[in-house]
Amino acid sequence: MNQLPENLHPQTLAVRTAIAKSQYGENSEALYLTSSFVQPNAETAARRFAMEEDGYTYTRVGNPTVNSMELRLAALEGTEAAIATSTGMAAILLLGMGVLKSGDHVVCSQSVFGSTIRLFAGEFAKFGIQTSFVAQTDLAQWTAAIRPNTRLLFAETPTNPLTEICDIQALADLAHNAGAMLAVDNCFCSPILQQPKRFGADFIIHSGTKYLDGQGRVMAGAICCSQQHVDELFLPITRTAGMVLSPFNAWVVLKGMETLGIRMQAQSACALALAQWLEDHPKVQRVHYPGLPSHPQHALAMRQQSASGKGVGAAIVAFAVHGSHATELRRKAFATIDAVRVCSITTNLGDTKTTISHPASTSHGRLSEDQRQAAGIGQGLIRLAVGLEHIDDLKADLAHALDTVS
């Protein structure tokens, strides 16, 4: 088969890159559901185990379906390579294990995914790694937190659920000037809308559980980075510690990525229309969505989230109901959520099914009230992760839900 030409569009890369074919020449990617690989002879086996010769041996070390998924994701992110993990959190664990050692320091946004905060503040701290948490949008705080032993900056943009944006280019410059590296969790935008590598990020983190699968079926994760970083920092750990992706889950994500572009486009368009409609709704106090001119970092978001050729706000919308105190806000938010008939009440996101959740009592429920106040996540806040239903049905569902609230 001829090699693919250069400079293909993401839509083409998503269906055409990295197809591991068997001798049968199948057009849809085969699933290599095997834990080990038969060796032609003992000599070859010896060379492969010594890493002197390419060739599969054991799926913890490498598997054709997993490699196809890695190559396809790397092609979409514009990085040389990628390494897949069992979950998104396993990717962040692998990042820490590969990049950090005892005595190192990390600067991390205080608005990242809750388990990411617990991983840095709790688990890594046990191994003598200190993390300073700073305000997502305040570059002065990031700068002030840098120490001589700072090795890694970790950001996520937009954040959950308030969709706060940080300037990837500015953080990459800050990290590199300090002799550190920048990791960006790109779950919310996916490479279709935002390619952090273009702005200087060294490591791009994915939870494949979200938009890459896109249909809420499997868990998966990955780090996208240079081939050298995969070979030297990460592969030795996954081979030994084993947080690898299963071939079946890799195959689901590999096929999921084929429709990533068209899904992100449709779900984002629907989210924008819903955000605009919610902003004019009398029962809604405030809407958080990067695609709205009222968003404090609208201009930055439109510049940064423009890998598709134009700025796109992505598919997460948060909105707050009116109320004068926490008890009333919580009661109204719960009543709104309980009245929906189309949306699913669940905290997952990146699914074809629209999900609705109450961050203060679920995803951010383990924070103290003070931490929640600092994060701006009030009791009246509701998050939507917009799926593929018809916009009119979603509007009608939310209109009905908001009307039931007095």
Ligand X SMILES: *Cc1c(COP(=O)(O)O)cnc(C)c1O
Residues interacting with ligand X, by CB under 6 A?
87-89, 113, 156, 160, 185, 187, 207, 209-210, 219, 221
Nearer to ligand X, 15 or 376 (CB): 376
Torsion of CA 124, 126, 128, 134, to 10 degrees: 50
Handedness of CA 154, 13, 7, 75 (dihedral sign): positive
* Residue 66 C-beta: closest distance to ligand X, Å: 16
For helices 247-256 and 64-77, the axis angle rounded to 10 degrees is: 40
Nearer to ligand X, 210 or 229 (CB): 210
Nearer to ligand X, 283 or 288 (CB): 288
φ and ψ at 339, to 5 degrees? -90, -5
* The token pair that represents 15 in the structure block: 């269906």
Nearer to ligand X, 208 or 380 (CB): 208
Nearer to ligand X, 146 or 264 (CB): 264
* Residue 136 C-beta: closest distance to ligand X, Å: 13
Handedness of CA 120, 125, 126, 128 (dihedral sign): positive
For residues 253 and 208, the answer to whether their CB atoms sit within 8 Å is yes
| CA distances from residue 18 to 73, 207, 400 in whole angstroms, order as listed | 9, 20, 46
Nearer to ligand X, 64 or 221 (CB): 221
* Residue 113 C-beta: closest distance to ligand X, Å: 4
Angle at 104 between CA 373 and CA 234, to 5 degrees: 100
Nearer to ligand X, 210 or 332 (CB): 210
- Report how far residue 255's alpha carbon sits from residue 294's, in angstroms, rounded to the nearest whole number: 37
- Report how far residue 47's alpha carbon sits from residue 303's, in angstroms, rounded to the nearest whole number: 49
Nearer to ligand X, 86 or 379 (CB): 86
Nearer to ligand X, 19 or 315 (CB): 315
Nearer to ligand X, 78 or 114 (CB): 114
* Residue 346 C-beta: closest distance to ligand X, Å: 12
* Residue 210 C-beta: closest distance to ligand X, Å: 6
* Residue 239 C-beta: closest distance to ligand X, Å: 21
Which of 129, 140, 142 has its CA nearest to residue 98? 129
For residues 100 and 130, the answer to whether their CB atoms sit within 8 Å is no
* Residue 212 C-beta: closest distance to ligand X, Å: 10
Strand ranges, E, within 157-237: 181-185, 203-207, 221-225
Angle at 5 between CA 232 and CA 53, to 5 degrees: 35
φ and ψ at 123, to 5 degrees? -70, -50
Which residue of the chain is nearest ligand X when measured via CB? 88
* Residue 88 C-beta: closest distance to ligand X, Å: 2
* Residue 363 C-beta: closest distance to ligand X, Å: 9
* Residue 283 C-beta: closest distance to ligand X, Å: 28
Nearer to ligand X, 207 or 297 (CB): 207
The SS3 call for residue 105 is strand
* Residue 53 C-beta: closest distance to ligand X, Å: 34
| CA distances from residue 180 to 58, 150, 177, 348 in whole angstroms, order as listed | 34, 6, 7, 32
Residue with tokens 């300073």: 132
| CA distances from residue 291 to 57, 287, 318, 362 in whole angstroms, order as listed | 48, 11, 12, 25
